[in-house]
Amino acid sequence: MMFDQTIRPRRLRAGDPLRRMVRETRVSPDSLIYPVFLAEGNGIYREIPSLPGQYHYSPDELPRLTERLQAHGVSRVLLFGLPAQKDAEGSSAWAENGIVQQGIRRLRELMPSLYIVTDVCMCEYTSHGHCGILCGCEVDNDRTLERLAGIALSHAQAGADMVAPSDMMDGRVAAIRAKLDANGFQNVPILAYSAKYASSFYGPFRDAAGSAPSFGDRRAYQMDWHNAREAMRECELDVREGADILMIKPALAYLDLIHEARNRFDLPLAAYAVSGEYAMVKAAAAAGLIDEHGVMCESAIAVFRAGADILITYYACELADAMRAGEIG
């Protein structure tokens, strides 16, 4: 069979220098955010069983973290807190000396150049494990807004660079923006968990953060994973309320939504490669079923290729190394 051989796409695949020159998706370590779990107490540096290679850090053990970050050239973190005490209203979440507030101040001393983003939610701090104030067995959306705004303000006062509400309450971005602005923090951006699904991929995180609900589930406020149009509506609402960055969570099973959000909105777009995604790769690699490094790189590029500008990932250090080595990016 004869056919025109004038056009040969393989010409641009002939060698690594050429392939790297014509890559359509380019990434850098500046696009990575590393999730960190802070534990209240002293002398705590313990590996998280459900997340191999990830650790709980008490504030006095944070030099271990900053040494690792500096060794790999990672300069952005997302902080989660594990308090010593919990109550029905999660009051330690906005305490001046709460665990995240302690962690922010300690990290500022250890690594002044570190960019600190803080998770704003209540599930780690409430005795019932839900993301807000309860009215009976339901989360009271509007009562919760003031609490979330107070948490965000306390983080900003402690020195956070950015706050990231993950609760999925209606109106939380507007409430946080108003609270920050009224207290002189107009320049603290909000990274909104805009489309956060009620996903089965969160299991290891809930173990790591001690945040599993004591009854029921979170489907009344986290999104139904059957729905795509609703995700765009959530993103649009966050844009209107003053979000500076949008997020889709989880990442890999929701690439279609990352792509759709990229096409619809001009704000920077983040994706969170969540604990279950990380744990599955780790487990398959430990069983000898996959090339961990290769799958890590390919999965990350899939997220960026779909349209994300920022990737929150437990593989941030390893990906930063791969980017600098020219293996990706």
- Name the pairing type of β-strands 162-165 and 138-139: unpaired
- The active-site residue out of 86, 179, 249, 282 is 249
Q: What is the pLDDT of residues 222-255, one digit of tens each?
A: 999 999 999 999 999 999 999 999 999 999 999 9
Q: What is the pLDDT of residues 110-169, one digit of tens each?
A: 999 999 999 999 888 997 777 888 877 788 999 999 999 999 999 999 999 999 999 999
Closest CA to 198 of 172, 164, 234: 234
Please state whether 16 falls in left (phi above 0), alpha (psi between -120 and 50) or beta: alpha
Handedness of CA 44, 45, 49, 50 (dihedral sign): positive
CA geometry: angle 229, 170, 133, nearest 5 deg: 135
Task: Decide if 179 is catalytic.
Answer: no
- H helices of 136-274, where? 141-158, 172-182, 203-209, 229-241, 255-264
For the chain, percent of residues with pLDDT exceeding 90:
80
| pLDDT value of position 135 | 75
- The active-site residue out of 86, 179, 196, 282 is 196
User: Which one of 85-89, 90-94, 195-199 scores highest in mean pLDDT?
Assistant: 195-199
Handedness of CA 27, 31, 35, 38 (dihedral sign): positive
Asked whether the beta carbons of 117 and 96 are under 8 A apart, the reply is no
Asked whether the beta carbons of 216 and 237 are under 8 A apart, the reply is no
Beta bridge partners of 76: 115
What are the tokens at 77? 């973190």
Reduced to 3 states, what is the DSSP secondary structure of residue 212?
coil
Query: What whole-number distance in Å separates Cα of residue 154 and Cα of residue 122?
Result: 13
- Residue 190 carries which DSSP code? B
| pLDDT value of position 3 | 67
Task: Decide if 249 is catalytic.
Answer: yes
Q: Give the mean pLDDT of the chain.
A: 93
